[in-house]
Amino acid sequence: MRELAYEAVVEAVCDLCIEANRILPSDLKTRLQHACDEEESPLGRQVLGDLVRNYEMAEQMCLPICQDTGMAVVFADIGEDVHVQGLTEAVNEGVRRGYLEGLLRCSIVGDPLRRINTGDNTPAMLHLRIVPGDRLSLTVAPKGAGSENMSAIRMMTPAAGEEDLVRVVTEIAVQAGSNPCPPLVIGVGIGGNFEGCALLAKRALCRDTSLRNPDPLYAQLEARMLEAVNRTGIGPQGFGGRVTALAVNIETGPTHIASLPVAVNMGCHVTRHAQRVL
């Protein structure tokens, strides 16, 4: 059994919170740059150019890419042969240090109705998963409210087909309009149950947008959904154009014979995440 130091986890989470908020993943940089060439609308191209300059300046000046530095969503894949004393506490301490030391906006309230800010962006939204091995993989994915508020779940039945799934994703994107700050990365979870499909959709947002689902059926469905969303004409920041979404990522899971849950988790043009393996 490998023992992993508490402070190592704290430092890693702290660094990841700051990195994720300041540096856009390279695949999204590439997609935004390509979108500038693909967009036919002059205003859309101007908006996309501003978005590219924004992430470039954020990285150069060590500033957040977006003023909404989000809820700290942390995926922790912990090996069966590694032990961390106080993992949950270590993650929250890392978030606390990262947001305070990184001068990131603290956006978490301790109670949904009393609305009192916790002052340090804790607690994190922590998702634990047991995996083989003796390593701890940490992914920090700050999630802003603008895109999160536009997400949705549909509890469908097995009678629904691929066309119905494309229609649902497109309808949710249309209802969202400019609110989630397009161009979007759309995470789609299919299967599981009510909460399971939402987690699948959230994990889908952390997948490199250059990687398609390994199952050809779902890879083709990702392409069809992306094409349908981009046909809506919402465009960059809702000003109209052909680039409403940069990518659609689908993750799937087993489900009940009488159910077909579908979750659509909207990610904005700065769908942020950073990873480290300890």
Burial 44-53 (b: 16+ CB within 10 A, else e): bbebbbebbe
**Structure confidence at residue 28 (pLDDT):** 97
Residue 179 DSSP one-character state: T
pLDDT, one tens digit per residue, over 95-137 is 999 999 999 999 999 999 999 999 999 999 999 999 999 999 9
In 3-state terms, what secondary structure has residue 263?
A: strand
pLDDT, one tens digit per residue, over 6-34 is 999 999 999 999 999 999 999 999 999 99
Give the confidence band of 199 by pLDDT, cuts at 50, 70, 90. very high
**Structure confidence at residue 59 (pLDDT):** 96
Backbone phi and psi for residue 111, each to the nearest 5 degrees, phi listed first: -140, 135
- Measured at the alpha carbon of residue 100, what is the angle toward residues 97 and 102, in degrees to the nearest 5? 95
With 0.85 as the threshold, say if the pTM is over it.
yes
Q: Where are the domains of the chain?
A: 2-22+65-143, 145-273
**Structure confidence at residue 74 (pLDDT):** 98
Q: What is the dihedral of CA 37, 43, 46, 50, to 10 degrees?
A: -120
**Structure confidence at residue 259 (pLDDT):** 97
**Structure confidence at residue 112 (pLDDT):** 97
DSSP 61-115: HT--SSS---EEEEEEEEETTEEETTHHHHHHHHHHHHHHHTTPPP--BSSTTT-
**Structure confidence at residue 27 (pLDDT):** 97
**Structure confidence at residue 181 (pLDDT):** 97
**Structure confidence at residue 176 (pLDDT):** 97
**Structure confidence at residue 167 (pLDDT):** 98
**Cα–Cα dist 177/189, whole Å:** 21
pLDDT, one tens digit per residue, over 142-168 is 999 999 999 999 999 999 999 999 999
Give the confidence band of 268 by pLDDT, cuts at 50, 70, 90. very high
Whether the CB-CB separation of 182 and 112 falls below 8 Å is answered with: no
Mean pLDDT of the chain: 97
Cα dihedral across residues 55, 57, 62, 67: positive or negative:
negative
**Cα–Cα dist 28/253, whole Å:** 26
